[in-house]
């Protein structure tokens, strides 16, 4: 069976080589249709990748955020709850220590307060950013240290300030002169142990301090936000499940005070939108592929008429109906595959050619993406077209009577 099939494909290739120009004309519709499919899918895949990159650049796709819901809806009005739960430092450490998958974590909240410094008579305004761990890895230290190793667990009264606040405190003195001074905020006298670089020129004065110093009253004034980040996107649902389980165990019925959010929802919605777009465009462009398949069928029907004597001779020397069907189906699939491969190359080339045009008008870092999925779809289309539109000519050829076929010669 396999040997006969391979021989059928070998004969099909031989017939195609002997009528190459005729074959190219017969598969022109397939070439155009497949080229359009490839170009469209490549551009849609590139657009989806661009959308994913934009989402990831603004918010981490692998991040999960837990926030306290301080308001509730009554009569279509949002009103503040009388009581609600918050995540304090001790609970954060408890989950952080036992949680799987986590690559980065933080517990933080912000206050905008008036602060006093030991060497100044007047107060300053500053943003107080309370943290459960050291500042993020992209924070650049310019003077001093980023907290003591046990500053958070030991609840040390330390603070790290940014360059903007350091300049306000130092005045005409060098920035390092503020190290060791005392900054009073939220009822705590904090020693300045470090200075970090401003991330943006417009960054306001900021002081970082351990969230473990805050009282329960402070936490309820500004409920902390809990953030976890995992290494792989597929780990996001697993960590969400762990968080839900932990919140229910820790807060019982009041776990509903918290909302768990992640970006995988938006990624899923984006993927579904592009999938629908891909299907619609595929169906529209697929019409030209069907037209190309009809062209292949017509060519094969002409080939059956032209090779009637050959078919009769093959049957006369012992070829069975299955052999004849296999021969013409192999030729149909080979012709369709040949047209699909040519279309694949043309489509990929066209997609690459339009990228500079898109970048010129849109001014975005957009690229076409040719994936293995597109390649496999094209291969599948080639086989399906060959089988569907080659079946009728193959059956017609197999039904020819050998005597009548030889007589036509």
Q: Measured between alpha carbons, how far is 277 from 283 in angstroms, rounded to an integer?
A: 10
Give residues with Cβ within 8 angstroms of 108, minimum separation 6.
Answer: 129, 130, 131, 132, 211, 224, 225, 227
Confidence of residue 87 (pLDDT cuts 50, 70, 90): very high
Name the percent of the chain in helix, strand, coil, to the closest 5. Answer: 60, 20, 25
Q: What rounded mean pLDDT belongs to the chain?
A: 82
| pTM of the predicted protein model | 0.57
For 351-378, what is each residue's pLDDT tens digit?
A: 888 888 888 777 777 788 877 777 787 7
Condensed to tens digits (0 to 9), the pLDDT of residues 156-191 reads 999 999 999 999 998 888 999 999 999 999 999 999
Instruction: Give every CB contact of residue 299 below 8 A, 6+ residues apart in sequence.
Output: 22, 23, 26, 335
State how far the Cα of 299 lies from the Cα of 19, in Å rounded to an integer: 12
Q: Which residue has the tokens 């004065």?
A: 205
Q: How confident is the model at residue 101 (pLDDT cuts 50, 70, 90)?
A: confident
Distance between CA atoms of residues 59 and 390, nearest Å: 52
Look at residue 210 in the predicted model and tell me its pLDDT. 95
Determine the average pLDDT of the residues in 111-117: 92
Query: How far is the C-alpha of 312 from the C-alpha of 307, rounded, in Å?
Result: 9
Q: Among 2-16, 20-34, 181-195, where is mean pLDDT lowest? A: 2-16
User: What's the DSSP call for residue 152?
Assistant: T
- The number of beta carbons lying within 10 Å of the beta carbon of residue 156 is 19
Is 132 within 8 Å of 211 (Cβ atoms)?
Answer: yes
Pairing state between β 71-74 and 188-196: unpaired
In this prediction, residues 235-249 reach a mean pLDDT of 87
All structural domains of the chain with their residue ranges: 2-56+267-408, 63-262
Q: Does residue 20 have a pLDDT over 70?
A: no
Picking from 48, 67, 44, the residue whose alpha carbon sits closest to that of residue 56 is 48
């Amino acid at each position: 069976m396999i040997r006969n099939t391979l021989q059928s494909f070998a004969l099909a290739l031989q017939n195609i080589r002997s009528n190459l120009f005729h074959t190219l004309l017969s598969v022109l519709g397939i070439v155009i249709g497949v080229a359009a499919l490839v170009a469209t899918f490549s551009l849609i895949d590139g657009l989806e990748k661009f959308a994913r990159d934009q989402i990831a650049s603004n918010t981490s796709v692998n991040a999960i955020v837990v926030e306290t819901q301080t308001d509730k809806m009554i009569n279509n009005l949002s009103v503040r709850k009388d009581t609600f739960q918050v995540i304090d430092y001790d609970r954060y450490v408890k989950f952080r220590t036992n949680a799987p998958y986590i690559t980065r974590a933080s517990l933080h909240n912000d206050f905008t307060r008036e602060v006093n410094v030991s060497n100044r008579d007047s107060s300053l305004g500053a943003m107080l950013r309370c943290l459960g761990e050291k500042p993020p890895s992209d924070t650049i230290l310019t003077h001093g240290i980023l907290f003591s190793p046990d500053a958070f667990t030991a609840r040390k009264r330390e603070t790290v300030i940014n360059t903007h606040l350091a300049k306000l405190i130092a005045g005409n003195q060098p920035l390092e002169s503020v190290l060791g001074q005392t900054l009073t905020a939220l009822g705590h006298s904090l020693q300045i142990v470090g200075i970090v670089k401003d991330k943006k020129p417009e960054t306001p004065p900021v002081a970082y301090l351990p969230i473990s110093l805050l009282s329960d009253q402070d936490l309820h004034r500004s409920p902390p936000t809990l953030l976890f980040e995992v290494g792989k996107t597929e780990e996001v649902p697993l960590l969400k499940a762990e968080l839900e389980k932990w919140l229910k165990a820790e807060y019982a019925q009041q776990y509903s005070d918290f909302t768990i959010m992640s970006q995988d929802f938006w990624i899923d919605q984006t993927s579904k939108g592009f999938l629908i777009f891909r299907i619609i465009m595929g169906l529209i462009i697929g019409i030209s592929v069907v037209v190309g398949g009809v062209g292949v069928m017509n060519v094969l029907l002409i080939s059956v008429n032209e090779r009637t004597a050959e078919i009769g001779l093959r049957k006369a020397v012992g070829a069975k109906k299955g052999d004849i069907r296999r021969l013409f189906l192999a030729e149909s699939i080979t012709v369709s595959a040949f047209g699909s491969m040519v279309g694949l190359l043309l489509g990929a080339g066209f997609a690459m050619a339009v990228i500079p045009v898109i970048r010129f008008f849109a001014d975005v870092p957009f690229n076409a993406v040719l994936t293995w999925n597109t390649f496999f779809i094209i291969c599948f289309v080639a086989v399906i077209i060959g089988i569907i539109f080659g079946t009728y000519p193959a059956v017609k050829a197999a039904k020819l009577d050998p005597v009548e076929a030889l007589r036509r010669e």
